[in-house]
Structure 1
Amino acid sequence: MATLSNDVKAFIVQALACFDTPSQVAAAVKEEFGIEVSRQQCESHDPTKYAGRDLAKRWRVLFEDTRKRFREETADIPIANRAHRLRTLGRMAEKAEGMRNLALTAQLLEQAAKEVGDVYVNRQTKAEMPHDDLPPTRVQVEVVDARVRDADA
C-alpha cells in the first residue's frame, strides 16, 4: 500500500463523501495525481465502511462535513428536482410523439406517472366511483334492419 500525501487523502475522503465508489475514486486519483491506488485502499478512507473503522478523526470530520454539504447542495442540481424531471419528460414525450414513436411515448408517460407518485396505479376507490355509476360489465346490442322497421310502421 502506497503512502499517500494529505492532499491525496483529502481528495479520496471528499470523493467518497460525495458517494463516488471506491473504483471511481481510484481511477480519479490516478488521473488527478498520477498515483496508482487500489479500491481497497480508497475504501479504507470511508468511515461508513468496515474498512474505514480506524480512520483518523480529522478525516472523519472532513468526510461528515463534505457529505452534509453535498446533500444540501443536491437541491441546486436541476435533475434532482422533480419539476425539472417532469418538464424534461414532457418535452421528450412530445418529441417522441411527433416522431410517431408511440412505444417510446408510452414509456415516457409511464415514467412521468411514476415520478409523480402513485398516479401510475389503476385503482379506484369507492368514493371516486359511486355504486350507481358502475361501468357496465356486459352490453347487449340489437341490430335492427331498417327495412324491417319500416315494414312494421
Structure 2
Amino acid sequence: MATLKAECKIFIVQSIACYETPSQVVESVRERFGIEITRQQVESHDPTKVSSKGLAQKWVDIFNATRERFCKETSDIPIANKAYRLRVLDRMAADAESMKNYGMTADILEQAAKEVGGVYTSRLNAEHADKISGTAQNQSTG
C-alpha cells in the first residue's frame, strides 16, 4: 500500500465527501497524482465507514466541512443552474433541428418547457400537493 502525502489524503477525503465512489477516487488519484491506490485505501479515509476507525480527527473535520459545503453550494455546479441547462438544451435543439431530427427536437423542446415550468423542482410538487390537499378538504367539507 502506497504511503500517501497530505495533499493526496486531502484530495481523497474531499472527493469522498463529495459523494464520489471509491472507484472514481482511485481513478482520479491515478490521473492527478500518478500513483496507484486501492478502493480499500480510499475507504480507510471515509469517516462514514467502519474501516476508517483510526482516522485522525483533522481528516474527519475536513470531510465534514467539505460535505457540508458541497451539500449547500450547488451553485458551484453549472448543471445545477437552470439558465445553464436551458442554454445546453437550446444548443442541442438547434443541432437536432439542423440534422432534420424533428423527433429529437420536439423531445428537447418539451424538456426545456418542463424546465421553465418547474416540473423538475420539488417546490412545484409541494405546491401541487397543497392544491390537491386543499381541494380534497374543500370537497369533504362541502
Distance in 2, matches of 1:76 and 1:33, equals: 24
The 1:21–1:87 alpha-carbon spacing in structure 2 relative to 1, beyond 3 Å, is same
Rg larger in 1 or in 2?
A: 1
Aligned residues: 120
Identify the residue that residue 124 of structure 2 maps to in structure 1: none
Residue 119 of structure 2 is aligned to residue 117 of structure 1: yes
Amino acid at match of 1:37: I
Distance in 1, matches of 2:97 and 2:5, equals: 55
Distance in 1, matches of 2:14 and 2:64, equals: 9
The 1:88–1:4 alpha-carbon spacing in structure 2 relative to 1, beyond 3 Å, is closer
Identify which of structures 1 and 2 has the higher relative contact order when contacts are C-alpha pairs closer than 8 Å and 6+ apart: 2
The 1:32–1:114 alpha-carbon spacing in structure 2 relative to 1, beyond 3 Å, is same
Amino acid at match of 1:102: Y
Identity level (%):
58
TM-score by length of 2: 0.66
3-state DSSP of counterpart to 1:100:
coil
Question: 1:108 deviation in Å?
Answer: 1.0
Identify the residue that residue 24 of structure 2 maps to in structure 1: 24
Question: 1:69 deviation in Å?
Answer: 2.7
Identify the residue that residue 79 of structure 2 maps to in structure 1: 79
List per-residue Cα deviations over 1:59-92 (Å, max 9, x = no partner).
1110111222334443033321123212321342
5+ long unaligned stretches in structure 2: 121-131, 133-142
5+ long unaligned stretches in structure 1: 119-124, 126-153
Distance in 1, matches of 2:103 and 2:52, equals: 47
Identify the residue that residue 121 of structure 1 maps to in structure 2: none
Over 6 Å off, 4+ runs: none
List per-residue Cα deviations over 1:83-119 (Å, max 9, x = no partner).
321232134224422432112112212332443307x
Identify the residue that residue 139 of structure 1 maps to in structure 2: none
Question: 1:32 deviation in Å?
Answer: 3.1
Question: 1:43 deviation in Å?
Answer: 1.7
Distance in 2, matches of 1:25 and 1:40, equals: 11
The 1:37–1:82 alpha-carbon spacing in structure 2 relative to 1, beyond 3 Å, is same
Distance in 2, matches of 1:34 and 1:84, equals: 33
